[in-house]
Structure 1
């Protein structure tokens, strides 16, 4: 038999898929833009504005201020110094209460997750704290410690502790003990165990707890300022309410919500991405705190 060599097929007429024309890429780009989360967020805002305009011009025309009047008041508020001065006082109280709540909740939550005795000791505090009426506790603390900023910070921190503790507690209970034992066998130091075994597993619950702590703090700080303080965003909203100035109430509320949203996307979201960078990094063999890697990039013992 004779060997017959099959000639390669000509590739001159094959389409070059490495080059994509503008006409071909335009539909996929339009799909990506249409499916972008930003589009849906903008759609939500537009829907709220449309419903607001309809309500203010029909059934609630005698109560609800119009959109142009409200945004005019909001513009005056944001271009002046009063909003930023009052907002800074509120933020300062939120940060103080968050620091108290997060440190205490992290300590209590990890202790509850690692020890059955600690879990039994603090469980009643967490369970009752999750359902306690915040306004009652705030009143007790403000009356007991006085109507001052330190009392507000303590009240915010105390009210946020139970809710934040739950996330740390449950996250600690789900730690993989086999990984920790394996790290000990391979010679990881205590710091390396915490940095590369325990902390990555707690990153998710810790970030969730931080977001929840700030959410609780933002809500309670306005309530506490409304109850017993003489400055801050909550006080300004209460002052406008007592004057039956609904336009100012809504303007202060929108300004506060804008700041909270900016804080979420500028501070918390980047922190969350940074906390989960470990998922994309290769893990090496540690002796103490030193990672051993071959010259070609491969890890070795």
Structure 2
């Protein structure tokens, strides 16, 4: 039986290690926030220099534009247009992600499926997205359902690549070992396959969202009468560059909020098992036969 002194010693060592690991994490968070703040400051300084010295009279001033951004983001119109755009992205991306998960996993497991869809993936990852958007808008009509189809079609090949390569890189020996120990098929999928597919899934999520946010603005600009893209194009046609920039900043602010307030916290929670200190503490724990033989 392990003595109380040995347990206290192990507990104290574990607390010291955990505290030493937490301090660099806090410092790292502070440094990242400082770096992001420095980037924003440099951007604003470059904008001020360009609008005051290089493109004076062409590029709108920083203060006036940021004031319009504040007015825009407190108005009902902005959130109505943003909601329309976000809805199209959500539906189009969801269709692309589910399709890509099934298709990419099948391609990673079957050579026949891989050979059949390989050309589609190669064409889809290199085709001009603007041209395909124009073709589909003309063929299917200038309506919201067409915009969703365009987004799903353009995002599917790029997301599929992540699942395809991730499925091919699966350690199948782990599944065989789990089956030897009597794990059910459901348990193997949950505890062996899904954890290995989380990394390519999140890579596909970021790739797919990036593509759909880009192309939804293009589709709205050339074929629809509402949404952020339409508002930017309308301001451009009126030669109102300040409004173009204001709508763009508001749109990008929402995308950044989604990344830092939703996606990254979910990612940290799902991958927390990789950073748990318990796995690093075990190698440092040495067995002491003399203490373990103490039955005091």
Query: Which interval holds the TM-score relative to the shorter structure?
Result: 0.7 to 0.9
| Cα distance in 2 for residues equivalent to 1:232 and 1:281 | 46
Higher relative contact order (CA 8 A, sep 6+): 2
CA deviations 1:167-218 (Å, max 9, x no partner) are: 0000000000110110010000000000000000001000111111111110
- Secondary structure, aligned partner of 2:267: helix
Question: What TM-score does the superposition give when structure 1 sets the normalisation length?
Answer: 0.82
CA deviations 1:78-131 (Å, max 9, x no partner) are: 111110000000000000111110011111100010000011011100011001
Question: What TM-score does the superposition give when structure 2 sets the normalisation length?
Answer: 0.83
Identify the residue that residue 174 of structure 2 maps to in structure 1: 179
Over 3 Å counting, the alpha-carbon distance change for 1:256 and 1:72 in structure 2 is: same
Identify the residue that residue 149 of structure 2 maps to in structure 1: 154
Identify the residue that residue 203 of structure 2 maps to in structure 1: 208
| 2:275 is the alignment partner of 1:276 | no
Quote how far apart the aligned CAs of 1:278 are. 4.1
Which deviates the most, 33-42 or 158-167?
33-42
Contact 1:152 1:221 in 2 (8 A): yes
| 2:220 is the alignment partner of 1:220 | no
Quote how far apart the aligned CAs of 1:273 are. 1.6
Aligned-pair Cα RMSD in Å:
1.9
Identify the residue that residue 116 of structure 2 maps to in structure 1: 121
Larger Rg belongs to: 1
Contact 1:175 1:201 in 2 (8 A): yes
| 2:231 is the alignment partner of 1:236 | yes
| Cα distance in 2 for residues equivalent to 1:127 and 1:66 | 44
| 2:147 is the alignment partner of 1:163 | no
Quote how far apart the aligned CAs of 1:34 are. 9.5
Q: Which runs of 5+ in 1 are unaligned?
A: 1-27, 284-301
- The 5 Å alignment of 1:43-62 reads 43-62=38-57
| Cα distance in 2 for residues equivalent to 1:174 and 1:100 | 24
Q: Which runs of 5+ in 2 are unaligned?
A: 1-22, 280-296
| 2:38 is the alignment partner of 1:77 | no
- The 5 Å alignment of 1:9-88 reads 32=27, 36-88=31-83
Residue correspondences, number? 255
